[in-house]
Amino acid sequence: MPAYDSLLASITTDAVSARDVFDPATGELIGRAPLLTSAEADAAVDRAADAQAAWAALGHEERSAVLHRAADAVEAQSEALAQILSREQGKPLNGPNARFEVGACVSWLRVTADTPTPTQVVVDDGSDYAELHYRPIGVVGAITPWNWPMMIAIWQIAPALRMGNTVVAKPSEYTLLSGLALIAVLNEALPSGVLIAAPGDGGIGAGLVANAAVGKIMFTGSTATGKKIIEASAGNVTRLTLELGGNDAGIVLPDVDPEAIAEQLFWGAFINTGQTCAALKRLYVHDDVYEAVCDALVEVASSMPMGIGLDEANVLGPLQNAMQFDVVDRLVEAARRSGARVLLGGDPKRDQPGHFYPATLIADIDPTNDLVVEEQFGPVLPIVRYTDLDEAITLANGLDVGLGASVWSADRDRARDVAARIEAGTVWINSHGGVHPMIPFGGVKQSGYGLEFGVDGLKAASVPQVING
Ligand code: NDP
C-alpha cells in the first residue's frame, strides 16, 4: 500500500463518533476522522498525567534524543504527511506550502531538541548563591488552528516534550486528519502516553482548559477564542501561551525599488493563500512609489498558479473552508462598494467546486475600510496610499492587534528607526513573516502573550524554580 494510503488508513475510522473530511479544492470525501467524547478526552489527560513522571525522569539528553528520533520518523513519512495536509487543508505541495510545512516540523523538532537548557546561575557573589531552574509543568494542552495544522502543533508539542511535560493535543475540527497523522508518526518514536491526540470540536478544547490536571494551555487561534480561554483559565490559574489573530501592517518607504521588493511583498501577504497569522494584511505605500509598487505586485501575483494542491504546478490553493471564503468575499465586496480600485482578482468562480478565491489586490482604499481594519485571512491585499510617514505609522498602530509588521526601505537604519515605533511583537525589514526556531515569536496587544521558540520558548513550556543557597 502506498505510504499515503496506509498512513490515512491508520488514522481514519468507521466508528459512529466521527466526521467526514472533504477536500476543500474538489469537495471529494477524503476520509473519516474519529471524534472523542468529553469523557474520552478527560481519560486522555489522565493517561498523559500517568506517563509524565517517567518521561521527565529520562532527563534532557534522552528526551532530546527521542525528539530527534521523532524528527527522523516525520522525515521518513514526509511525502505522505504532505499529501494528507494538502488534501485536507488545501495548500499545494509546492511553494511555501505542504512540503515546506512538513520540513519545518522536522527543523523545529531538531532545533528544539538541541537548544541548551535555560537553567542559569542568577547570583554568585560570595555571600549569596542562587540558580534558576525550569521544571516540567505536568500535562500541557496544545490547541491548534486549521491554517498550519502540523507546524503550529509542533511549535507547541516540541518545547513541551523537551521540557519534560506530556501533551494532549487538540487539532482544529477543520484539519483533524492532519493533526492525527502527524501525531501518529511522532508516536512511532515517543513512549506511550507522552503525546495523545484529542480530536474534537471547540468543546474538547474548552474541556482541556477546564481540566485541573492540565497545567498549561498553549493556544494558537482567534482572539475571540483566546479571550474565552483566558476567562476559563481563572478556575485553576492555568498557565497560558496565546498566539492570537493579527492584522499585520507593512510600510513601504519612498526609497524602495518596487520591482526588487515585489516578490517578497507578495509572499509576505499570500503565503498559504493568505491564511497565515503573521501575514502582511494591509500595505501602506508612499505616494512616490505607489503606482509602481501596485504594478509590480500585479505582475507577480498574476503569474502565480492557483489550483488543486496535489498538482505540482500550483503554489496557491483554495481557502480551507466555506466560513473563511465568506469572510474574504464579504470584505472584498465592502472594499468594492466603497469605490476602491480592484487591480486584480475579486471575481471568484462560484459555479466551480472548491473554496477558491483568486489572488486579489485592491488599491486606493480608505484606511478605515473593513478590508483594512478587519483580518481577511485570505488571498487579498489592500494597498493604502500615504504621503506622511507619521500618519502611516499611526495607521499601522491604530488597531488593537500587534502580531507582526514590516518596513521596506533601501536604508536599513531608517527602516530600523521606523520599526522601533511600531507596536508589534516582530517587525521585519524588507521581508514579512519569516520565522526561525531560535528567534522568539509572540504578539502584543490583543495578539496574545507569551513567547514561542528558542530558549524563551523552553522557559514558557516549564515552571521556574529558584534554588537559593
Ligand atoms: P479558532 O480560535 O476558532 O480555533 C482555534 C482552536 O481553538 C481550534 O482547535 C478550536 O477548535 C479551538 N477552540 C474553539 N473554541 C474553544 C474554546 N472555547 N476553548 C478552547 N479551545 C477552543 O481559530 P481558527 O481555527 O478559526 O483559526 C483562525 C484564527 O486563528 C485567525 O484569526 C488567525 O489570525 C488566528 N491564528 C493565529 C496565529 C498566531 O500565531 N497568532 C496562527 C494561526 C492562526 P475547533 O476549530 O475544533 O472548534
Q: How confident is the model at residue 47 (pLDDT cuts 50, 70, 90)?
A: very high
Q: Is the minimum distance from the CB of 459 to ligand 1 under 6 angstroms?
A: no
Whole-number pLDDT of residue 298: 98
* Burial degree of 401 (CB within 10 A; 0-12, 13-18, 19+): buried
Q: How confident is the model at residue 41 (pLDDT cuts 50, 70, 90)?
A: very high
- For residue 275, report the distance from its CA to the centre of ligand 1, in Å: 12
444: β partners: 402
Question: How far is CA 34 from its chain centroid?
Answer: 23
Query: What is d(CA 384, CA 392) in angstroms, rounded to the nearest whole number?
Result: 9
Q: Is the minimum distance from the CB of 229 to ligand 1 under 6 angstroms?
A: yes
Q: Is the minimum distance from the CB of 201 to ligand 1 under 6 angstroms?
A: yes
Q: Is 277 a catalytic residue?
A: yes
Q: What is the pLDDT of residues 23-32, one digit of tens each?
A: 999 999 999 9
Beta strands in 1-158 (DSSP E): 18-22, 29-34, 120-124, 129-135, 139-143
- For residue 245, report the distance from its CA to the centre of ligand 1, in Å: 9
Is a pLDDT exceeding 90 seen at residue 401? yes
- For residue 287, report the distance from its CA to the centre of ligand 1, in Å: 37
- Domain borders along the chain are 3-244+447-468, 248-429
Is a pLDDT exceeding 80 seen at residue 371? yes
Q: Is the minimum distance from the CB of 143 to ligand 1 under 6 angstroms?
A: yes
Atom 25 in ligand 1: residue holding the nearest Cα: 145
Is a pLDDT exceeding 90 seen at residue 201? yes
Q: What is the pLDDT of residues 154-197, one digit of tens each?
A: 999 999 999 999 999 999 999 999 999 999 999 999 999 999 99
How large is the average pLDDT for residues 10-16?
83
Share of the chain above pLDDT 90, in %: 97
- For residue 224, report the distance from its CA to the centre of ligand 1, in Å: 8
- For residue 251, report the distance from its CA to the centre of ligand 1, in Å: 28
Query: What is d(CA 417, CA 315) in angstroms, rounded to the nearest whole number?
Result: 35
Q: Is the minimum distance from the CB of 199 to ligand 1 under 6 angstroms?
A: no
Query: What is d(CA 373, CA 247) in angstroms, rounded to the nearest whole number?
Result: 8
- For residue 132, report the distance from its CA to the centre of ligand 1, in Å: 33
Ligand 1 nearest atom to the CA of residue 200, by list position: 47
Ligand 1 nearest atom to the CA of residue 243, by list position: 41
Q: Is 294 a catalytic residue?
A: no
Ligand 1 nearest atom to the CA of residue 206, by list position: 19
Query: What is d(CA 404, CA 382) in angstroms, rounded to the nearest whole number?
Result: 17
Is a pLDDT exceeding 90 seen at residue 39? yes
Pocket test for ligand 1, best of 89, 140, 172, 452 (most atoms within 8 A of CB): 172
Catalytic residue among 88, 277, 294, 452: 277
Spatial strand order of the sheet with 239-243 comes to 195-197, 166-170, 139-143, 214-220, 239-243
Whole-number pLDDT of residue 50: 98
Place of cell 478527560: 42
Is a pLDDT exceeding 80 seen at residue 384? yes
Whole-number pLDDT of residue 17: 86
Whole-number pLDDT of residue 16: 76
Whole-number pLDDT of residue 249: 98
Half-sphere exposure of 203 (CA within 13 A, CB side): 7
Q: Is the minimum distance from the CB of 77 to ligand 1 under 6 angstroms?
A: no
- For residue 409, report the distance from its CA to the centre of ligand 1, in Å: 34
Residue 374 sits at φ, ψ, to 5 deg, of: -105, 155
Whole-number pLDDT of residue 155: 98
Q: List the grid coordinates of 334.
A: 465592502
Average per-residue pLDDT in the chain?
97
Q: What is the pLDDT of residues 220-255, one digit of tens each?
A: 999 999 999 999 999 999 999 999 999 999 999 999
Q: Is the minimum distance from the CB of 146 to ligand 1 under 6 angstroms?
A: yes
Q: Please give the single-letter amino acid code of residue 171.
A: P
Is a pLDDT exceeding 80 seen at residue 15? no
CA dihedral 142, 143, 147, 150 (to 10 degrees): 30
Pocket test for ligand 1, best of 222, 377, 446 (most atoms within 8 A of CB): 222
Is a pLDDT exceeding 80 seen at residue 291? yes
Q: What is the pLDDT of residues 73-111, one digit of tens each?
A: 999 999 999 999 999 999 999 999 999 999 999 999 999
Q: Going by CATH, does the domain composed of 3-244+447-468 fall within 3.40.605.10?
A: yes
Please give the class, per CATH, of domain 248-429. alpha beta
Query: What is d(CA 199, CA 284) in angstroms, rounded to the nearest whole number?
Result: 41
How large is the average pLDDT for residues 50-72?
98
Ligand 1 nearest atom to the CA of residue 173, by list position: 47
Atom 43 in ligand 1: residue holding the nearest Cα: 277
Atom 40 in ligand 1: residue holding the nearest Cα: 243
Q: Is the minimum distance from the CB of 239 to ligand 1 under 6 angstroms?
A: no
Q: How confident is the model at residue 2 (pLDDT cuts 50, 70, 90)?
A: confident
- For residue 225, report the distance from its CA to the centre of ligand 1, in Å: 6
Residue 197: strand, helix, or coil:
strand
Is a pLDDT exceeding 90 seen at residue 12? no
